[in-house]
Structure 1
Amino acid sequence: MAYQKLNLQDGHVLDATDMAHIEQGIVDASTLPEIGQTVSLLPGVDPVSLWPGTMWICIGEDGQRVLYTRIATDLPDAPAGLPTRNDVPSYTGFPAVTVVDTKASDYYTSTQWFAKTIPTGPTAGKGAHHIQAHGGGITREGDIWYWVGESHENGYGDSPGIHLYTSKDLRNWTDMGIILRMITNPTAADDPTTPDGRYFHDLYGSEYENVRKYLLTHADGKSLTAIAERPKMLHNPRTDKWVLWFHSDGSTTVGGSNYSRALLGCAIADRPTGPFKLIGAYKGFNDDETIYGGWGEVGDARDMTLYAAKDGNAYVAYSSEGNKSTYVAKLDDDWTHLCVTTDTDESKSKMQYSADGKYTKLLPVGRGTNWQIITDQSREAVAFLEYRDRVYVITSPTNGWAPGKQNWYAQEHPENGILSSYGSGTDLCRGIDSIEGKGDHDITFGSQCSYIVPWNEDLGEFIYFGDRWDSGSAKSAYVVLPIVIYDDNGTTKLRMANPETAWRPEDYWRITGTEHWPNK
């Protein structure tokens, strides 16, 4: 058994060695708890059971706060209830590494989350590494939370694909690896005798050449390149398939803009751990009565999300019409196409891909039954939540990588379903900047929404997961904050606060009424 020492301020590994070699004076080896023992880390902190991957805090004689994690010399077994597949690299657990003034690792405060790795495989030598799940989505199946997101480990370009992490408490996560692989080495991927080539050719077979331009993230100067952003994953109980939708974009000319296609990518798998297979890259619906004529083309779909509503159907929402309008569109029963299709690619650019030959009908009738426009105020980064049978939508301004003021929109006639009309936007955030240290509520505490996680829907308690973009770099961070919905003299209001101290859902929502946030 070995231990790993990390500095709490930056999360970087200082050393990884046998217990006997840990610096003298920092901690007495005999005082560290044994695996399986339930201990209280610090006064006022709930007891935890320590298993491989659990982190805890020790205070050295010099007053420096140090975080230790016990790691197994052999790989730990997969957590009970998680599906596995042979080529998943390993199960390695890690919790959120928090800011220096935080007393325990199970509090939501930090904009940085780090993963503990074993000294083998693709992450060997990286030590504690930043979670790569940018622009992601979180869904729950049974008692497991699944977090998918963009991997920017190579920076904004050359993305290896969509990364998956799992958790039972939304705080301690398990790295499940890349579940939808992109092509970063086209020479190897094109050659079926190489490991990369065997993977892609075995998965796609004769379709490989057709899907290549939707998977190639490495600019080789002679091929069309692709990007995959804002992935969201759901399990379809009708088909027992897992579906992954994302903003599929890329160039239409060699060396051209990677935001020229504006498509909705769809991939499927038998398990949440993959491997996911791309089966489509489609345009979205546009208004059949007011045909868009601005930049781009009819059916463009950019910043998107995927949502399974309580009516049993799934929906995609996306920015369209030059990012002027935010649409929500119903999916078919398999959740693999929009609900109105044709056997012809009606798009101007002819860049849609469909493995089964079904393409989106670009201008279908059926506003209110097949699709709806949520807002025409140039918004993006859409997220949904439902409270007391009413759907709420959160969006951000189109500010590029910069954060901005996010608004929420409520259904005007919830009895007509998720595709009914929505009211005007209302400011989401309240409070002052505090522990996050990146601006105030006018810029959503320095973040852009990626997903809203239900904590206790009946009580109006939700968790905001947002991105703090650093021009899309690998060190882009995450912001996790509470959202509350409450009744104010008969009017439902939705607010997000930035607590001025470390917070946990089980503590934070014991407060009632307007005290949910510091209204300053």
Structure 2
Amino acid sequence: MYTAFTPGAPWLDTDGKRIQAHGGQIFQENGTYYWLGENKDHTTGEDEVWTWGVRLYSSHDLMNWQDEGLIVPPEPDDRESILHPARHLDRPHLLFNEKTKKYVLWLKFCDDSHYAVLTADALKGPYTIVNSRYFPCGRKCGDFDLWKDEKGNAYIYFEADHTDLLGAHLSADYTQVEGEPVAIYSGKKPPETREAPTHFVRGGRHYLLTSGMTGYRPNPSEVAVSDDPLRGYTVLGDLSEGDPSNTTFHSQSTCVIEVNGRYLYLGDRWMPELNDWSYTGDLRPDPATQKKIMAKLKELGLDPVRDREEAMKVAIHISEACNTSLADYVLLPLEWEGERPILHWKDTWKL
């Protein structure tokens, strides 16, 4: 049983297994904390498995988590299903709709840059797909976050076309974007493109954490603030200025939760083996990986220039073929310099 948090160390559930809830969120309901995310326990990098469904955990202290099972199980026998393990299911996020009494779950699919939307009458499901291939406002889309205000109005923050980060209202049933999105960041290119958006509110102000776009390799996170959920964000700078590796302590933001007035940052440490790596902006693959990429392009008859988009997908797939079943987490309290949140490393800490 855990009595303190140890960021970056393997985090085991009450059965002694690694917690598998990546890219997701922690929220509270009826006095219990829940944590849902990508189940990576089958993702070794040695085959086509990307995500093995969506897993849910429960806790009363945020340290000790009980496995509640797969609320969205994979469908390994149906290659046409969006829930087949080879599909690149990422970033599950959930809202409960008080009007419809439905749990609304959004999933990202990075292999084809779209979302799927599912609903259920109970937190643990079963979930029914209501839209398996959703492109908000006709845009290719990536990482996202969902948020609802005290009146039940819901919002989405999402990366679009590898250039923009947009914010938008959701429909009354939370299943689609309503109205035109607002550009929070625009006209950027990887690795400067903003992704992994994480929204939270403190003192009536809206904060948005984002990372750069570097795949599973970590990079500096950025924090912006506004008095409005969608408009007028001002960039405050790096979230973890004291990190000499420029990698947000080797993590990528997934959510921020408020606990008794404290705000806790949760990030995924996708590649623990890179803990000695520092971000410099040079994202070229190492020579061995580059050789694998070129061999695969030749096998598929793809030209890196002529078939740039398809070639890029191949390169990303090979570069990110890593054992994320061993991915860890970084949970740290946000500290404040005025109205600016800052992360400082702690080997161990308690609430």
Tell me whether the two structures share a fold, i.e. TM-score over 0.5.
yes
In 1, the alpha carbon distance for the partners of 2:343 and 2:152 equals 28
Deviations 1:339-361 (A, max 9, x none): 24xxxxxxxxxxxxxxxxxxxxx
- Seen in structure 2, the aligned counterparts of structure 1 residues 110 and 405 have a Cα distance that, compared at 3 Å, is closer
Q: Which amino acid aligns with 1:137?
A: Q
Aligned position for 1:178:
70
Note the C-alpha offset of 1:450: 0.8
In the TM superposition, 1:48-197 aligns within 5 A as 55=1, 95=2, 105-117=3-15, 128-155=16-43, 157-158=48-49, 159-186=51-78
Determine whether 1:431 maps to 2:283.
no
2:13 touches 2:64 (CA, 8 Å); kept in 1? no
Note the C-alpha offset of 1:468: 0.7
Q: Return the TM-score normalized by structure 2.
A: 0.78
In 2, the alpha carbon distance for the partners of 1:272 and 1:502 equals 32
Aligned position for 1:445:
249
- Seen in structure 2, the aligned counterparts of structure 1 residues 388 and 441 have a Cα distance that, compared at 3 Å, is farther
Deviations 1:330-384 (A, max 9, x none): 11111112124xxxxxxxxxxxxxxxxxxxxxxx4xxxxxx22111241110001
Aligned length: 291
Note the C-alpha offset of 1:116: 3.9
Note the C-alpha offset of 1:498: 0.8
Aligned position for 1:16:
none
Determine whether 1:385 maps to 2:203.
no
1:161 touches 1:182 (CA, 8 Å); kept in 2? yes
Among 394, 401, 416, the residue aligned to 2:209 = 394
Identify, as 1 or 2, the structure richer in strand: 2
The 4+ residue runs of structure 1 with deviation greater than 6 A are none
In 2, the alpha carbon distance for the partners of 1:311 and 1:129 equals 39
- Seen in structure 2, the aligned counterparts of structure 1 residues 472 and 328 have a Cα distance that, compared at 3 Å, is farther
Aligned position for 2:232:
421
- Seen in structure 2, the aligned counterparts of structure 1 residues 213 and 405 have a Cα distance that, compared at 3 Å, is same
Aligned position for 2:85:
217
Determine whether 1:333 maps to 2:182.
no
SS of structure 2 residue aligned to 1:152: coil
In the TM superposition, 1:355-370 aligns within 5 A as 364=180
SS of structure 2 residue aligned to 1:429: coil
Runs of 5+ unmatched residues, structure 1: 1-54, 56-94, 96-104, 118-127, 188-211, 219-225, 250-258, 286-297, 341-363, 365-370, 433-439, 506-520
1:380 touches 1:397 (CA, 8 Å); kept in 2? yes
Aligned position for 1:480:
331
In 1, the alpha carbon distance for the partners of 2:270 and 2:139 equals 27
Greater relative contact order (CA < 8 Å, ≥ 6 in sequence): 2
In 2, the alpha carbon distance for the partners of 1:306 and 1:443 equals 24
Note the C-alpha offset of 1:305: 1.5
Among 502, 505, 508, the residue aligned to 2:348 = 502
In 2, the alpha carbon distance for the partners of 1:304 and 1:419 equals 14
1:304 touches 1:318 (CA, 8 Å); kept in 2? yes
RMSD: 2.0
Among 182, 185, 206, the residue aligned to 1:372 = 182
SS of structure 2 residue aligned to 1:386: strand
Aligned position for 1:244:
105
Aligned position for 2:114:
263
1:268 touches 1:276 (CA, 8 Å); kept in 2? yes
In 2, the alpha carbon distance for the partners of 1:278 and 1:111 equals 35
Aligned position for 1:407:
222
In 2, the alpha carbon distance for the partners of 1:454 and 1:116 equals 23
In 2, the alpha carbon distance for the partners of 1:401 and 1:173 equals 25
2:98 touches 2:152 (CA, 8 Å); kept in 1? no
- Seen in structure 2, the aligned counterparts of structure 1 residues 325 and 424 have a Cα distance that, compared at 3 Å, is same
Note the C-alpha offset of 1:309: 2.8
In the TM superposition, 1:308-347 aligns within 5 A as 308-321=148-161, 323-340=162-179
Q: Return the TM-score normalized by structure 1.
A: 0.53
Note the C-alpha offset of 1:115: 2.4
Determine whether 1:302 maps to 2:194.
no
In 2, the alpha carbon distance for the partners of 1:299 and 1:113 equals 36
Note the C-alpha offset of 1:315: 1.4
Determine whether 1:231 maps to 2:92.
yes
In 2, the alpha carbon distance for the partners of 1:496 and 1:130 equals 25
Q: Which amino acid aligns with 2:157?
A: A
Identity %: 27
In 2, the alpha carbon distance for the partners of 1:168 and 1:243 equals 23
- Seen in structure 2, the aligned counterparts of structure 1 residues 404 and 453 have a Cα distance that, compared at 3 Å, is same
Q: Which amino acid aligns with 1:132?
A: Q
Deviations 1:124-173 (A, max 9, x none): xxxx3211111111111121111111011111643330000011111111
- Seen in structure 2, the aligned counterparts of structure 1 residues 136 and 472 have a Cα distance that, compared at 3 Å, is farther
SS of structure 1 residue aligned to 2:253: strand
1:135 touches 1:230 (CA, 8 Å); kept in 2? yes
Note the C-alpha offset of 1:472: 5.6
Aligned position for 1:83:
none
Larger Rg over CA atoms: 1
Among 266, 270, 274, the residue aligned to 1:465 = 266
Deviations 1:246-271 (A, max 9, x none): 2134xxxxxxxxx2x21122111111
In 2, the alpha carbon distance for the partners of 1:396 and 1:472 equals 21
Note the C-alpha offset of 1:441: 5.8
Runs of 5+ unmatched residues, structure 2: 272-321
1:265 touches 1:282 (CA, 8 Å); kept in 2? yes
